[in-house]
Structure formats: C-alpha cells, structure tokens
Amino acid sequence: MSIKATEIIIMYKKHLTKVDPVLGAVIKQIKLRPLKLQKNYFQALVEAIANQQLSGKAAQTILGRVLTLFKSKKFPTPQEYLKMSDAKLRSAGFSNSKVVYTKNVAQFFVERNKEIKRIHKLTDEEIIKFLTEIKGIGVWSAEMFIIFSLGREDVFSYGDLGLRKGLQKVYNFKKEPTLKQMKKIVKKWKPYRTHGARYMWASLVKK
C-alpha cells in the first residue's frame, strides 16, 4: 500500500471516529480492504446493470457466462459487444431488458467516446446527469460508478438497500430509517461519506 493510501485511511478513520462515535465503534471492529477501482468504464456500467435486482453472486455468474461468448475471454469493447446477438446474451442469463440496457451502454460509449474520456473532470452531479441519459442507468448505478470507478470519497447512495439496512443495524433503528434520518447521520461524515458507506456495507457481513 502506498504512503498516500495509508495517509488517506488514517485521515478518514480519524475524522469519522471524531464526528460519529457510533461509526467509530464500527471502525474499530472492521478492517476495510483498499478500494479496488474498475478503470474499464464500459465494464463498470455493464456490471452495474448486471447487479440490478440480483445478488452479487448471481450477477457474477451471469457475467462469467457473458465473457465466454467472446473469443478473447476478456471483457469486450463496446463495439464487440454491439455485434453479439441478443439471443446469445439472453442464453448467458441476461433478461430481455438487461440485454437492451447493456447494449444502450455500448452504443452510448461508441457515440459519446470523447465525452466519456473527460468524465473524471465532471462534478458528481454532472456525472449522474450525463450517465442517466442512458436508458438502463439510474442514479444508483451512476453513484456506484463514481465510487468504484472514479474512487471519489464523498458519495453516499440513499437509494441503496444495503446502506439503508446497514444504518438500521448500526444505529439500532426498529425499521429502515427514513431519508431524513439517514441524512442527519450521514451529513456528519463529509467529506468521507464513501468510506462511511463502505463501513455500512461491511457491517452487514459481520456477525
């Protein structure tokens, strides 16, 4: 791990523990792995669609089958993906809608390639507006892209079921917290809301 990465970990742990003792207790119990970024932006968005309304394990199984459709066994380029027949993608496990949505992503990457190359220069709000132009990419998928492809540190997806469940568990809500309740907690985590979110996800795995 680089010195810079270590310094970032120290900074966000110190900040989150100071502003939120409840989260601080979780931080003491859970060791997060360094965030591994998906630098292939096309792959990241196809994977986001694959994960919609499915468990991570089921989505990975389908994505593995999709890869076997291509000779290189590597993740296809948008151009290669567009050439693959809808029937074969369905045979790999994609629903009709996910075939359409993933091809929408591929077409968008072909047509808007220059803009995509500059996406890292946009604000979070601009990225969400840009990516949700694609039918099949909603706010949640765009937010996951900002976290797991761009590695931005101050993102919290209020629409994420896992995060709502994590907050419910860690903060002892009898039922899923309301948006108002979530915002009251999460606003304290700025400018490290991404890391707070990662602890909420991790809390669901910890017994």
Which residues are catalytic, by number?
A: 160
Q: How far does CA 206 lie from the centroid of its chain?
A: 20
CA torsion angle 76 151 143 171 (round to 10): 130
The type of residue at 29 is: Q
Q: How far apart are CA 70 and CA 23, in angstroms?
A: 44
Could you write out the three-class secondary structure of 153-180?
Answer: CCCCCCCCHHHHHHHHHHCCCCCCCCHH
Residue 12 burial (10 A CB sphere; 0-12, 13-18, 19+): buried
- Written as six digits, the tokens of 181 are 């309740």
Preceding amide of 78 cis, omega within 30: no
Look at residues 53, 47, 41 and name the one whose alpha carbon lies nearest to residue 131. Answer: 41
Q: How far apart are CA 17 and CA 24, in angstroms?
A: 4
